[in-house]
Structure 1
Amino acid sequence: MSDFDNLTTPPPAPEGEVPQDQRTMALLAHILGIFTGFIGSLIIWLVNKDNPEKGFVTDQAKEALNFQITLIIASFVSGILTLVLIGFLMLAAIGIANLVLCILAAMKANNGEAYRYPFALRLIK
């Protein structure tokens, strides 16, 4: 089995219910992507990555960070494609996808469910 077989499958559910403080931090990791790009989720991931008790927060912040990095790459490609005018449509689609998918992810994280973005490159493992 290769590393690419389970790219979009969510991790196993945490034991028991996820505490409210972890759900709130995971919600922030996703929502901050709308306003700060990758910076908010990067800070949340760096603060919590070494704490094994914060596994849900670490997982969701890492997922949000990977998605924001994917959006940066897509925006760069779209910026180049503005020379052919298709890039303007792609930039609009990227902005709408960022807004909608970040809100969906935040709602799932607030419910204690691990969310996986559908088009994210998993660069940070």
Structure 2
Amino acid sequence: MNQITHANGGDHNQNNLAVGCHLLGFVGLVVPFGHILGPLALWLIKREGNPFVDDQGREAVNFQISFSLWSIIAVTLSLVLVWTVIIPVLAVIALVILAIIWVVTMILAAVRASRGEAYRYPFTLRLLS
């Protein structure tokens, strides 16, 4: 993992924009698909001439898309396997764990970006390169 991805520990403006890319995922709590659209919009607008924002914005968008896919799979499995009492309980537990991972990793990514450190989300499909 790159500790610092831009010169001299970081340009505060780039760091703040990268933090925004990560934290805009929370828009999804109030706007449908906002968890993807928020980071995507900021990344597309600010990536030119900002290599750190380009890297971290792409990472944030990839994570949000991956998170959506993992959530769809978990919900689908819970609906398909609803024929017992144990499976729905396990599905709900899995969804709660996914939600906790979603929140914690976005906060961790934002903290790292604020320091000028590149962050790589776990279990993320790198769809945008």
Mark yes or no: TM-score above 0.5. yes
Gaps of 5+ in 1: 1-8
**Identical pairs, percent:** 36
SS in 1 for 2:8: coil
Contact 1:31-1:106 at 8 Å conserved across structures: yes
Bigger Rg over Cα = 2
TM-score (norm 1): 0.84
> Could you tell me which of 63, 72, 75 is aligned with 1:76?
72
Alignment of 1:50-89 (within 5 A): 51-52=48-49, 54-83=50-79, 84=81, 85=88, 86-89=90-93
Query: What RMSD over aligned residues (CA atoms) do the two structures have, in Å?
Result: 1.6
Q: How many pairs align? A: 115
Tell me how far 1:15 sits from its aligned partner: 2.7
Gaps of 5+ in 2: 29-34, 82-87
TM-score (norm 2): 0.81
Is 1:117–2:121 an aligned residue pair? Answer: yes
Alignment of 1:1-125 (within 5 A): 9-10=1-2, 13-36=5-28, 37-49=35-47, 51-52=48-49, 54-83=50-79, 84=81, 85=88, 86-125=90-129
